[in-house]
Structure 1
Amino acid sequence: MADSQQPHPKTKSKAKKRYLKAKKERRKHRKTSDRSGALPEEETDDNSEDGPPEKTSTVISPARLARQSNLAIGDDSQKRKKRKLDHTITEGPLEDQSKQAEVDEPEVVEDSLPDRALPLFPLPTRPDAPSKTELALQGLNRAQIEAELVDPNSTLPINLDADNSQSILGSKTRKRLIDLGVNDLFAVQTAVIPFLLRSGHKYTSLYDPYHPPRDVCVSAPTGSGKTLAYVLPIIELLSPRVVTRLRALIVLPTRDLVAQVREVFETTGKGRGLKIGTATGQHSFSHEQAQLVTDEEWRTGRTSKVDVLICTPGRLIDHIDGTSLFTLRDLRFLVIDEADKLLNQSFQDWLAKVLAAIQRPYESYLPVISRHGLRSLEDTSAGGCVTASLVPQEPPNELQTDCDEPRHSSCQKLLFSATLTSDPGKIALLGLRDPKYFVVREVATGASVNHHLVSEGFSIPTNLVEHMVVCNPSQKPLMLFYLVRAQRVDTALVFTKSSESTARLVKLFELFEKNSPVTENRKLIIRAYSSDLPPSERKSILEQFKEKKIGILVCSDLISRGLDISHVAHVVSYDVPIDIRKYVHRVGRTARAGRHGEAWTLVEEQEARHFKTMMKDAGHLNQIKRVRISDEELVPLTAAYDIALTQLKKSYQPHW
């Protein structure tokens, strides 16, 4: 019974033993080849009879070759695993080895091994990504990279007693500025005016086609005095002129800016004899033609009635195409204010047409000269008689004169903006000549202009305090009324996203004022200013706001650029601006010319992430303070607001 319970040892056949012995030899060869780096040749056992069939291969398939290359590159982890497995099988009992061979070993053993050694190649590596600065500077020309940084706090006093040779400006201009209350030049003026007036005697003349002046690009904060930076040099250089020609052209995006810049020219250039004209489309086309050009060219020898023309691009193209005697070939200055906005909009491809109209074709109407004097030409129109004719023809090669030297346009391009573009494609469209860049911006110690070019290229007035109020969309009008009542935001510009929003908000505020208890001696006056109003009404509203007869002016982005109203203490962005440029120009309506101001942005909850990301990308999020307004603070205004909202809904319902 006991004998029957003992297991009978398994006997191995001779074929099995030969198979295991051959397998052991193969493993020894494999270990030796792994240490030496050479791969063993395949072995075959022709004497095996009963053992497992061994597969021989003489043709290497593509898949097998790929596996060989992977092993040759050196997958050390797989090699170590295989060695450990071989060591375990070798050290175990013979029976366990055979079981392990039958269970774990694949049927094809040698196909998983390389047949021959392959060269080792280094693994590919990725190059380091370029920095943000390098990416931002790609495509920029050297003039942009080497722009001159100007400290925004730098000023230059106007000395009335100084000699003309020691002062940048003439005595008449200095006296006029002091009479207007301007005692110091701001940062942008201290950099640009000396460059335009003292960059060399050859640049201060009206026309010099052989030494044309350098073009200028200026990026400065809103309210920093960019208008005077080009008005004063134009007045200084054009005042000595004798004949009236159109020598200065200022292009602006809106009619309101045209009127404002004309006022600056007239006040600072009073008594200098310069004739200023405008073209905005506010008057009829024939009326503007009569104000700009004369039809008595054969008597006076001139066609222009103005020395300086301030215009919008659309109306300028109308005169280039439709006014026969209107010409730009005498231009000395081409000023593009708010350049980023004008370059982003085509306006009937105005820039290409203006640049083409500036170029004066070279025509030398000279007698045809030869070594023997005048050459006679036969004029068939004169009946075949022989005359000495003045014809446009190049002089002979053997006789070179000053007229043969290349001549260029003397027009100097001046670009100004608070958010001047760095797009190489747009800059290339201007055809700038050896441009000089000025960047008015406060930069940390050790930083360069690259910091300005990497960022969006704007700066905020230093005396501006910025706030952000995150609110529910249904409570946003109530938040504005709270700012007006509690925060004393009573002399402000309120920006909305459209003309419809402007009209609706003004109507709601008027209803709120009507239903709210009177807490002051007089109720606050609020008016709408949008493109839906006729030009005469817009002008009247703007004059009333400047005279402080209107407390709050609700407007769209129509006047977000360039408008200078000195007493504006607050700017409220009722609707969040879609990009950083609109934000910069909105808040720039206050804290101008060194004055203090506050900016408020009402951010809806679903817009908070977009607004914060936009400010963070511009590196400006830390400068904005978040203001939290609790529901308890809004309770005193809720009743009047609900009544006003109900009345507004009824006014918009159709009356059948």
Structure 2
Amino acid sequence: MTFADFNLDEQLMEGLEAMNFNTPTPIQQQAIPIILQDKDLVACAQTGTGKTAAYLLPVIHKLMQKEDRKLNTLILAPTRELAQQIDQQVEGIGYFTGVSSMAIYGGGDGALWTQQKKAILEGADIIIATPGRLIGHLASGAINFHHLEHLILDEADRMLDMGFYDDIVRIIQFLPQKRQTLLFSATMPPKIRTLANKILHEPEQINISVSKPAEGILQQAYMVFDEQKTPLISSLLKDTPHQSIIIFASTKETVKKLHTTLKRKGFGIEAFHSDLEQAEREAILQQFKSRRLPILIGTDVLSRGIDVEGIGLVVNYDVPPDPEDYIHRIGRTARAATTGTAITFITPRDQRRFHQVEQLMEREVSKLPVPEELGPVPEYNPGAGRGSGGGRNFGGNRKGGGNNFNRRQPPRHQHNKEQHKGQRSGGGQRGGGNASPKQGE
């Protein structure tokens, strides 16, 4: 199947050819005909499956058939980064069509608010907005949605996780009841089903998400105690051959602390978090995309808010709280049929969570030996002490509640001894063979 089979507008096809879009992905093959038929749609599809083009192509095609164009489409997205990314896709796909779009998000100064309001008043064809900032514009009375024909919710599960349910319901009160509504979500928990039943009319359903990472990702893990994580990541970064790296941590405080530590060690790294001004965030992302910045560290906002090809290594400094978030995090690598490596640090309290990840993927991730100089490490035993409240008792000889995690020495094979012997006498080189295995080893 090719894009020509959809009979899309010629100018739209020119944009696809310029972007080297040839063969539609599975989500595009299934969603585009449904959207062209003006049916509502609930689609379960992960980031990286081509879902953005799956809804933009038919919507822009329908826009091209109109002589008198007004504000036609509203796309809601959870983060400013995703809103900007969708806006860039509209610009690329619709380059020859004359279709206009505007990304509306918070975090900027008064000039940005004025620019967004002007675009709304002058009638951009497509508005891509984060719910919070759009509520602000609605309160000012600047937006007229009377002619709206399409409402698209992208990454709906993430929006609900971020507490936007009430904002979404409030926004919908400003929209025409007669419209086409498209809901895209990586997962389909009950709250998404409830939202879909509330705002969609007899929707078609597509399920592309299989909660499995790309085959091209080499997944590895290290069992460590908390105090070993920073020395281990320093060792990995010193020896890695990868030129583009993302590190995920679970809290903003951890991101800031680790960024400071690694920066002092001389690594080319920047932190990405909500305390930065919008201009700073955009500058950091641009440096990373252009390969001028080799390492980016952030929270899960990066796992869905950034679309960069060629990321060679993803490091989970913390195991994510939700197994689905693990899939999204490591999905930043091995995109567009490339290969990549994903490494996760597992502490004793994280074992059960990581075991849930393995159960979701229906596979076990290899646990690698840490460099000997880091000392004893915990055993991987996620089934120990079930019901004990998180396994915070690490001591091997303690009695009573808590998990019983035994410290163990890393394997001491002969080749490991020789490597570490050479490292100790070789001017400070660390952990080459075991600390950062290359793909295929």
Q: TM-score, normalised by structure 2?
A: 0.79
- Structure 1 distance, partners of 2:97, 2:61, is 9
Match of 1:627 among 355, 368, 372: 368
Q: For each residue in 1:254-283, what CA deviation from the matched residue of structure 2 results, as whole angstroms up to 9, or x when unmatched?
A: 111111111110111012121212221324
Q: For each residue in 1:232-275, what CA deviation from the matched residue of structure 2 results, as whole angstroms up to 9, or x when unmatched?
A: 11110112222231110011111111111111101110121212
Report the counterpart of residue 242 of structure 1 in structure 2.
Answer: 67
Report the counterpart of residue 550 of structure 1 in structure 2.
Answer: 293
CA-CA distance at 1:195 after TM superposition:
1.9
Report the 3-state secondary structure (helix = DSSP H, G, I; strand = E; otherwise coil) of the residue aligned with 2:270.
strand
**Is structure 2 residue 224 aligned with structure 1 residue 224?**
no
- Structure 2 distance, partners of 1:530, 1:177, is 34
CA-CA distance at 1:624 after TM superposition:
2.1
- Structure 2 distance, partners of 1:239, 1:261, is 19
CA-CA distance at 1:507 after TM superposition:
2.2
Query: What amino acid does structure 2 have at the position aligned with 1:173?
Result: L
| Cα 1:637–1:545 shift into 2, 3 Å | farther
Match of 1:187 among 20, 26, 29: 26
Report the 3-state secondary structure (helix = DSSP H, G, I; strand = E; otherwise coil) of the residue aligned with 1:349.
helix
Report the counterpart of residue 348 of structure 2 in structure 1.
Answer: 605
Q: For each residue in 1:526-578, what CA deviation from the matched residue of structure 2 results, as whole angstroms up to 9, or x when unmatched?
A: 12111121111111111011110011111122221142101212111111111
Report the 3-state secondary structure (helix = DSSP H, G, I; strand = E; otherwise coil) of the residue aligned with 2:153.
strand
Report the 3-state secondary structure (helix = DSSP H, G, I; strand = E; otherwise coil) of the residue aligned with 1:314.
helix
**Is structure 2 residue 211 aligned with structure 1 residue 469?**
no
**Is structure 2 residue 41 aligned with structure 1 residue 196?**
no
Report the 3-state secondary structure (helix = DSSP H, G, I; strand = E; otherwise coil) of the residue aligned with 1:590.
coil
**Is structure 2 residue 146 aligned with structure 1 residue 321?**
no
Report the counterpart of residue 420 of structure 1 in structure 2.
Answer: 188
Report the counterpart of residue 149 of structure 2 in structure 1.
Answer: 332
**Is structure 2 residue 261 aligned with structure 1 residue 508?**
yes
| Cα 1:233–1:424 shift into 2, 3 Å | closer
CA contact (8 A) 2:219 2:342 kept: yes
CA-CA distance at 1:640 after TM superposition:
7.0
CA contact (8 A) 1:277 1:309 kept: yes
Report the counterpart of residue 157 of structure 1 in structure 2.
Answer: 2
- Structure 2 distance, partners of 1:266, 1:498, is 34
**Is structure 2 residue 238 aligned with structure 1 residue 485?**
yes
Query: What amino acid does structure 2 have at the position aligned with 1:313?
Result: P
- Structure 2 distance, partners of 1:310, 1:575, is 32
- Structure 2 distance, partners of 1:581, 1:637, is 40
Root-mean-square deviation (CA), in Å?
2.6
Query: What amino acid does structure 1 have at the position aligned with 2:365?
Result: I
CA-CA distance at 1:333 after TM superposition:
1.0
Report the 3-state secondary structure (helix = DSSP H, G, I; strand = E; otherwise coil) of the residue aligned with 1:413.
strand
**Is structure 2 residue 100 aligned with structure 1 residue 358?**
no
Query: What amino acid does structure 2 have at the position aligned with 1:171?
Result: E
CA contact (8 A) 1:188 1:225 kept: yes
CA-CA distance at 1:181 after TM superposition:
1.6
Match of 1:591 among 331, 334, 351: 334
CA contact (8 A) 1:478 1:641 kept: no
CA-CA distance at 1:316 after TM superposition:
1.0
Query: What amino acid does structure 1 have at the position aligned with 2:30?
Result: A
Match of 2:280 among 537, 550, 570: 537
Aligned counterparts, 1:207-606, within 5 A: 214-281=39-106, 282-284=108-110, 285-293=113-121, 304-324=122-142, 326-347=143-164, 349-359=166-176, 409-423=177-191, 426-427=194-195, 430-441=198-209, 458-513=211-266, 524-606=267-349
| Cα 1:265–1:475 shift into 2, 3 Å | same
- Structure 1 distance, partners of 2:296, 2:348, is 25
| Cα 1:459–1:430 shift into 2, 3 Å | farther
CA contact (8 A) 1:482 1:634 kept: no
- Structure 1 distance, partners of 2:139, 2:424, is 57
| Cα 1:243–1:634 shift into 2, 3 Å | farther
Q: Which has the larger radius of gyration?
A: 1
- Structure 2 distance, partners of 1:272, 1:592, is 28
- Structure 2 distance, partners of 1:182, 1:634, is 49
| Cα 1:220–1:333 shift into 2, 3 Å | same
CA contact (8 A) 1:339 1:420 kept: no
- Structure 1 distance, partners of 2:353, 2:48, is 27
Q: TM-score, normalised by structure 1?
A: 0.54
Query: What amino acid does structure 1 have at the position aligned with 2:48?
Result: G
CA-CA distance at 1:461 after TM superposition:
2.4
- Structure 1 distance, partners of 2:125, 2:192, is 32
CA contact (8 A) 2:245 2:314 kept: yes
- Structure 2 distance, partners of 1:256, 1:423, is 24
Identify unmatched segments of 5+ residues in structure 1: 1-155, 160-165, 204-213, 294-303, 360-408, 443-457, 514-523, 643-656
- Structure 2 distance, partners of 1:174, 1:348, is 36
Report the counterpart of residue 615 of structure 1 in structure 2.
Answer: 357
Q: For each residue in 1:202-239, what CA deviation from the matched residue of structure 2 results, as whole angstroms up to 9, or x when unmatched?
A: x3xxxxxxxxxx31111123211111111111110112
Range with greater deviation from structure 2 (186-195 or 283-292): 283-292
CA contact (8 A) 1:512 1:640 kept: no
Q: For each residue in 1:509-538, what CA deviation from the matched residue of structure 2 results, as whole angstroms up to 9, or x when unmatched?
A: 23334xxxxxxxxxx521211112111111
Identity %: 28
- Structure 1 distance, partners of 2:100, 2:262, is 45
CA contact (8 A) 1:496 1:556 kept: yes
Identify unmatched segments of 5+ residues in structure 2: 373-416, 431-441
Report the counterpart of residue 170 of structure 1 in structure 2.
Answer: 9
Report the counterpart of residue 75 of structure 1 in structure 2.
Answer: none
| Cα 1:287–1:610 shift into 2, 3 Å | closer
CA-CA distance at 1:616 after TM superposition:
4.5
Aligned counterparts, 1:28-47, within 5 A: none
CA contact (8 A) 2:310 2:335 kept: no
CA contact (8 A) 1:256 1:563 kept: yes
- Structure 2 distance, partners of 1:546, 1:637, is 36
CA contact (8 A) 2:34 2:41 kept: no
| Cα 1:428–1:195 shift into 2, 3 Å | closer
Q: For each residue in 1:100-148, what CA deviation from the matched residue of structure 2 results, as whole angstroms up to 9, or x when unmatched?
A: xxxxxxxxxxxxxxxxxxxxxxxxxxxxxxxxxxxxxxxxxxxxxxxxx
| Cα 1:504–1:332 shift into 2, 3 Å | same
- Structure 2 distance, partners of 1:637, 1:223, is 43
Query: What amino acid does structure 1 have at the position aligned with 2:221?
Result: M
- Structure 2 distance, partners of 1:288, 1:186, is 33
CA contact (8 A) 1:527 1:553 kept: yes
Report the 3-state secondary structure (helix = DSSP H, G, I; strand = E; otherwise coil) of the residue aligned with 2:182.
strand
CA contact (8 A) 2:358 2:365 kept: no
CA contact (8 A) 2:42 2:196 kept: no
CA-CA distance at 1:422 after TM superposition:
4.1
CA contact (8 A) 1:483 1:489 kept: no
